[in-house]
Copies of this chain bind each other. A is one copy, B any other.
Amino acid sequence: MNDSLFAASSPGRHNPHHLPDPRVGVPEIPSRFLRAQPPQLPQLSELQVVRHFTRLSQLNFSVDTQFYPLGSCTMKYNPRICQVLASLPGFVHRHPLAAVESGQGVLRSLFELQEMLGEIAGMPAVSLVPMAGAQGEFAGVAMIRAYHRARGEDGRREMLIPDAAHGTNPATATMCGCTVREIPTNARGDVDLEALARAVGPRTAGLMLTNPSTLGVFERQVARMAEIVHAAGGLLYYDGANLNAVAGRVRPGDMGFDAVHFNVHKTFATPHGGGGPGAGPVAVASRLAPFLPLPVVKKEVDESGRERFSWLDEADLPSSMGRLSTFAGNIGVLLRAHVYLRMIGAEGLQRVSDMATLNANYLMARLCAAGFTVAFPGRRATHEFILTLKPEADAFGVTALDFAKRLLEFGIHAPTIYFPALVPECFLIEPTETETRETLDQFVEAMIAIRHEAATQPQRVLTAPQSVPVAGGGIGRLDATRAARKPDLIWKENQPR
């Protein structure tokens, strides 16, 4: 498919049924405020638009169409019922500033979600506001800074972060005015405790940790780490991106963390939308509760037992770290997570982590048996695990990138590659609990087939993909260097198609 939206545009073509009032004249606004030329938007019929975007959609891999074992991303089934119920007209048409009386349904659901997330975190207070994991991290670090500031320790501006951490962790620390101190990981995939002990001190704001870590293993010494950091006056932040591995089995609060964010677009099955929106609610220990981002849903019960829900704001929470969004975050996404949690319950949540872990360990065992090399042998996989394709790279000159691209031609989305950076030729694989064993077996077969190709006809792998199996025939491997060297970021007239 090679038709540009803009090339298909024709001057004067438009959809009159989308003109709300064709008789309205030009407004009496002084011309210095007005635009001289209409904006260069495409001029298309409705069929052209529908066809264009429908066909675009068909060019994507997605959970609804392919196995998508992208490590750290928890690409599991996004139940359609969550989508449908969150889109009910009463929810969708409500203005954010409308009287709370007109929003008791949505507020009650959000309140229940707060309660459920607090229980899952093992922490007493929750704010749903952050709009993604990274903003949840921001909220967490900003709260930690506010906490220290409130105690007269504004000098605590150093954030300890393991080297395996996701990029958002250090970037967040910087955005909150902290400096980052990296803590190394040892060969078994655990944080180097000695190094941590050496790093803490009076400038320590806290530690940001993902557990299970991005290496696909559970950090066994987490309790000890909490002791070290707390003893030094720092607080602990839990990056909840990997919660799908342990939800219901172990709680951040019980592990000693002071704040946590959830990625509802991972653990709680809200769709990722090709890049978002997600939501990154935060839960905190009581010492951080006064600093939660605003607004938070409050429940009041009157004498007759009638419950009423409303928003806590600046007046109620004067020490709050502040606002993060115009209104109250990605409420529509949060409603999806609420429906999901109400459907699975406590037992279901544990079943999620059980089966996510079973799938990962099964896949790891089968790939091991097929001769692939796991990065941390002897460790249990969590909900994900890492292969290093270094042996294959050394033997056949075929890299993790090449394996990834060739997998696409099998109709399988590639795992996460080259992250975490510490593992050479890294293949971070997360099958999720919603995939069948049969699908995992197909993945193993594809990997074996690709390695066989790598040995026998490496060019086939090195030049993959030649064509991905999407409607219209797909595309071959794209030149990333060219894209960055001479950025072509918007369509211009007379551009080659």
Contact = CB atoms under 8 A, between A and B. Distances in A.
Q: How large is the interface on A (under 10, 10 to 19, 20 to 34, 35 or more residues)?
A: 20 to 34
Contacts of A473: 469
Contacts of A55: 65
Nearest to A50: B64
Interface in A47-89: 47-48, 50-51, 54-55, 58, 63-66, 76-77, 79-81
A65 B51 contact: yes
A263 B17 CA distance: 24
B471 A47 contact: no
A10 interface: yes
Given A45-B436, A58-B58, A50 B80 contact: yes
Interface of A is mostly: loop
B58 A64 contact: no
A472 interface: yes
A46 interface: yes
Nearest to A80: B50
A467 to B, nearest CB: 9
Interface string A73-109: 0001101110000000000000000000000000000
A50 B81 CA distance: 12
A438 interface: yes
B411 A77 contact: no
Interface in A10-53: 10, 13, 17, 45-48, 50-51
A435 interface: yes
Nearest to A88: B89
A15 to B, nearest CB: 10
A8 interface: yes
A150 interface: no
Contact of A48 (B17, B46, B436): B436
B17 A343 contact: yes
A65 B48 CA distance: 9
Given A469-B471, A469-B473, 8 more contacts: A8-B438, A13-B436, A17-B343, A46-B80, A47-B77, A47-B435, A55-B65, A469-B472
Give the top 6 A-B pairs by smallest Cβ distance, nearest first: A47-B77, A471-B471, A54-B64, A47-B434, A470-B471, A469-B472
